[in-house]
Amino acid sequence: MKKFTRSALAAAVLTVGSTGGVAFTSTAAAELSVNIGAVSNYYFRGFSESNDGAAIQGGIDYEHASGFYAGTWVSNVDFGFDDDGVEDLTSYEMDLYLGFADELDNGFGYDVGYIYYAYPDARNDTGSLSADFGEIYGEVSFDTGPVGLYGGMAYVVHDSDDSALQDDDMYFYAGLDIPFMDVYSAGFLVGRTRFDDSDAENYTHYTASLARDAGDWGEFSLNLEYVDESDEDLGAWVGWSKTF
């Protein structure tokens, strides 16, 4: 479940590894880019989407000089068993998104858009599942030079019968990026998921990341994940990504 941020490191801590965070800034012409990546565990907002297994991920992004962008991103997933012990047979996720983003000369940036999370082959022992859902999202950021600050939210605007999130569920987050020694960067993020259903338990998750830009070899990252109000232990995973 990809998110969009102004730096590769923020992608590493916001999403599922540094697997395609596109830096949307003003350019002289439209650009098309392709990203590929691999992670030892696919995390989304504090929880594994791959049943603690590895994932291969990648996508295609189009960016116009006006700030408009659109793209798609795919990853294998494994949600294991549901609360009734029925195996959810979903092998991959495909995200479709579009929006507008820019970074101003004074360091302030913004990103607003819509993302659709699709699980085309979702099914269980009783038949097919309708697990798709969509969110609108917005983010503001400020590049101070030594540190990049950002914060944003996502809001579910439609859901399916068996989707993980439901209408009016919200996610809030804030974080910072700290580049150092030219090729390294550290990132920290706190995110809060608020469910519209009063019976569902809201939770907060925390992410820390250390990434290294290896030039033509791509970017490597080491990441830690923690969720409060759950039985989850501290999670750790490594990731690699490259953009062409």
Whether the predicted pLDDT of 1 surpasses 70:
no
Q: What is the reported pLDDT for 216?
A: 95
Under 8 Å CB-to-CB from 112, ≥6 apart: which residues? 99, 100, 101, 136, 137, 138, 139
- Which of 124, 71, 112 has the alpha carbon at shortest distance from 94? 71
Instruction: Provide mean pLDDT across the span 101-116.
Output: 94
CA distance 20 to 118: 18
Domain residue ranges of the chain, discontinuous segments joined by +? 8-243
Q: How confident is the model at residue 224 (pLDDT cuts 50, 70, 90)?
A: very high
Q: Are 21 and 231 in contact (CB under 8 A)?
A: no
Handedness of CA 164, 57, 61, 27 (dihedral sign): positive
- Give residue 90's pLDDT band: very low, low, confident or very high (50, 70, 90): confident
Residue 155 has a CB neighbour count (10 Å cut-off) of 16
User: Helices (H), strands (E): how many in the chain?
Assistant: 1, 16
What's the chain's average pLDDT? Answer: 85
pLDDT of 54 strictly over 90 = yes
Share of the chain above pLDDT 70, in %: 83
The answer to which of 18-22, 44-48, 95-99 has the lowest mean pLDDT is 18-22
Closest CA to 52 of 92, 17, 80, 23: 80
Q: CB of 48 within 8 A of CB of 235? A: yes
Residue 7 has pLDDT above 50, yes or no: no
**d(C-alpha 67, C-alpha 100), whole Å:** 5
Q: Using pLDDT thresholds of 50, 70 and 90, give the confidence band for residue 85.
A: low
Mean per-residue pLDDT for 139-153? 94
The amino acid occupying position 94 is M
pLDDT value of position 203: 94
pLDDT of 29 higher than 80: no
Sign of the CA dihedral running 23, 52, 119, 154? negative
With bands split at pLDDT 50, 70 and 90, how would you rate the model's confidence at 163? confident
Q: CATH class for domain 8-243?
A: mainly beta
Nearest residue to 170 via CA among 208, 202, 205: 202
